[in-house]
Structure 1
Amino acid sequence: MDTLIRQLTELGVTRWMPFPAERSVPRPDAERFKKRVARWGKIALGALKQCRRNHPPSIEPQASYTAVLDAAVTSNVKVIFSETAREPLAGRGAASERIESVFLLVGPEGGFTPREIAAARSLGFDPVSLGPRILRAETASVAACALIQHIYGDLGRK
């Protein structure tokens, strides 16, 4: 996860909300997770300096899946990655309206369950894929963020 935080910070992510999905393993206890969040904050600050960003990303405490879905309410673009999705993220064109924020949901190695995908869809998330390969969650997160920058530009330029 340390490498993921560094790379997402370099790519311009402004908020990271870890959550346990139904198929997530392991599930650290609250105290251990709190220490990890503090460590990730320091890693993000180092990456911030390296890539010349002005504002560190918000690294949230672990949230429930429902809370994460609810946090996306104001985002213009909401996508959930699924190996069963037919639409590739790379196939999406830039939107005609101004995009202020993009909310990405990347699941665990086992993927999201059909119930989790249905819950996201009911709140306006579009299921998309990163192609024919099954990627580790960390790899998928970095690939998705790079593609979002390519499609929509550097949102917020922070």
Structure 2
Amino acid sequence: MSTGPRIHVAADFSVGGDVVLPEGPARHVARVLRLGEGAPVRLFDGAGLEARAVLVEAGRKRVVARIEAVEGGRGESPLPVHLGQAISKGDRMDYAIQKAVELGVAAITPLYTEHGDVRLKGEREAKKLAHWQAVAASACEQCGRAVVPAVHSPRPLTEWLGERCEALRLVLHPGTAGAFERSDAPASVALLIGPEGGFSTSEVEAAVASDFLPLSLGPRILRTETAPVVALSLLQYRFGDLGPPAA
């Protein structure tokens, strides 16, 4: 039997309890998918729990699901990676966040950099942050994760660097870091990706002073939204859960 669509609902799950779907998912379920009472759905709370549920109300204005079973979610990587991503324009940032979530990132912080051409303030920043958080939740619905990674408020690069304590810290920049040659998996990783114009010399120096290793991903220059996909794929393959199963 189909488990139905996966829907993120930030609610407490209890067997036999009812959950009212938020407006967006409710509209999608009732008007786009045209599901009616009795249809199965799969809910996740964003904090690690999955729930098998069935619709008990599916009107145009209100959709309610009744919880039938609750279990721990799957799909979380054993390698926690905090991505510091320079803010880019338009769909590029959405793409970077979406793919980073699919590749198991644990947290994302959008960063203001010297060569970055995006500056957000006040209400505009709050709206953009809410949008990015929704992108992360939607990516979890698609890829099967039950934990929605935190997308933190945008901040200057120097502030983010000053807070880092991850065991392995990498900045995408031409260099010779042997990040993928080490034999032991790091307990945690900080990955720093720059804007289209790259980092300034002072920003690279600040990263290195914060114990970041310069990391090169080959002879070709990658776009700012492509770089985290490649770097995270390599990290997850080498130290996470994308590699071949242990013998």
> TM-score if structure 2 supplies the norm length?
0.57
Higher strand share: 2
Q: What is the match of residue 3 of structure 1? A: 95
- What is the Cα deviation at residue 40 of structure 1? 1.4
Q: What is the match of residue 93 of structure 1? A: 181
| Residue 126 in structure 1 maps to residue 218 in structure 2 | no
Choose which of 117, 124, 128 in structure 2 pairs with 1:25: 117
Instruction: State the alpha-carbon separation in 1 of the partners of residues 181 and 161 from structure 2.
Output: 24
For 1:46-125, what aligned pairs fall within 5 Å after superposition? 46-73=138-165, 75-82=166-173, 85-87=174-176, 92-96=180-184, 98-125=185-212
Higher helix share: 1
Q: How many residues align?
A: 150
Specify every segment of 5 or more residues in structure 2 that has no aligned partner in the other structure, as ranges: 1-92, 243-247
Which stretches of structure 1, 4 residues or more, deviate above 6 A after TM superposition? none
Q: What is the match of residue 149 of structure 1? A: 236
Give CA-to-partner distance per residue, 1:84-133, whole Å, 9 cap, x none. x23267x722443x422110010011111111111111111001111111
Distance 1:150 1:34, change over 3 A: same
Instruction: Tell me the secondary structure at the aligned position of residue 111 of structure 2.
Output: coil
Instruction: Tell me the secondary structure at the aligned position of residue 7 of structure 1.
Output: helix
Amino acid in the other structure paired with 1:93: E
Across the aligned residues of Structure 1 and Structure 2, the Cα RMSD in angstroms comes to 1.8
Distance 1:105 1:39, change over 3 A: same
- Higher radius of gyration, 1 or 2: 2
8 Å contact 2:168–2:186 — kept in the other structure? yes
Percent of aligned pairs sharing the same letter: 37
Instruction: State the alpha-carbon separation in 1 of the partners of residues 163 and 98 from structure 2.
Output: 23
